[in-house]
Amino acid sequence: MGARRRIVLKMSGEALASSASDETIDAAVVERIAGEIAAARAKLDLELAVMVGGGNIWRGTTGAGAGMDRATSDFMGMLGTVINALALQDALEHQGQPTRVLSAVHMAEVAEPYIRRRAIRHLEKSRVVVFAAGMGNPYFTTDTSAALRAAEIEAGLLCKGTHGGVDGVYTADPRLDPTASRFDEVSFREVIARDLRVMDLTAITFCQDNGLPIRVFDLMGEGNIGRALSGEAIGTLVR
Ligand code: UDP
């Protein structure tokens, strides 16, 4: 396929929850996010894959901290991402955007298995691909999984949407340090050397090694998904 840009959008599971809802997934939030994704995909004519996390449901470290077997706890986290992926698929299809969930943990009744060539084929057919179950291995995060999948499908950009109110990469945590300032652009080397919070270190070094730029932006700001996907200079570009 030709010149269409291919992007992986990473969103945390917590982005799908909200204080306005007691549920682990707030349908209104999912609808807004899906609406923005569908509009951007159609308008910008991009090939878009989404990696969704599971932190609104379960994190491996939560169970491990309470004495659970780490791998078991991580598999619980991966299953949480499948729940989120299905919610996102449903909302995207309500918007008229054909969507396929590709799961790294096989569950044939629920989602297609992740097969690299199949993912690319879906993208070429203008379907949104939602990656579920991270990369299928315990001890990893969906941030690292997003980076891995982006490299595998030869995406040109990884967009990391934040949800905690921090709209990019700062010199320090802006919630704790009022003098912190935001980078428009920052190198992988500086992110690592200064231990700046972008994604986990495994994901960062993977992107650095593979020359995969990351746009960090506030997923919750209205219209921001379209801005980030269109290549607008919002948030911070890490490269
Ligand atoms: N996870 C894993 N391997 C993967 C992806 C995810 O073990 O390849 C587990 C891990 O326990 C993690 C949980 O799934 O805590 C949920 O993913 P993550 O914490 O990345 O979600 P987010 O913080 O983005 O919502």
- Give the separation between CA 46 and CA 51, rounded to whole angstroms: 16
Per-residue confidence band for 186, with pLDDT thresholds at 50, 70 and 90? very high
* Upper half-sphere CA count for residue 218 (Cβ side, 13 Å): 12
Per-residue confidence band for 165, with pLDDT thresholds at 50, 70 and 90? confident
Tell me, in angstroms, the distance from the centre of ligand 1 to residue 140's CA.
Answer: 6
Tell me, in angstroms, the distance from the centre of ligand 1 to residue 200's CA.
Answer: 11
Torsions phi, psi for 131 (to 5 deg): -85, 125
Q: What is the mean pLDDT of the chain?
A: 96
Tell me, in angstroms, the distance from the centre of ligand 1 to residue 52's CA.
Answer: 9
Nearest CA to ligand 1 atom 15: 59
**Which DSSP category does 13 fall into?**
G
The pTM assigned to this predicted structure is: 0.97
Q: Which of 3, 10, 4 is nearest to 129 (CA)?
A: 10
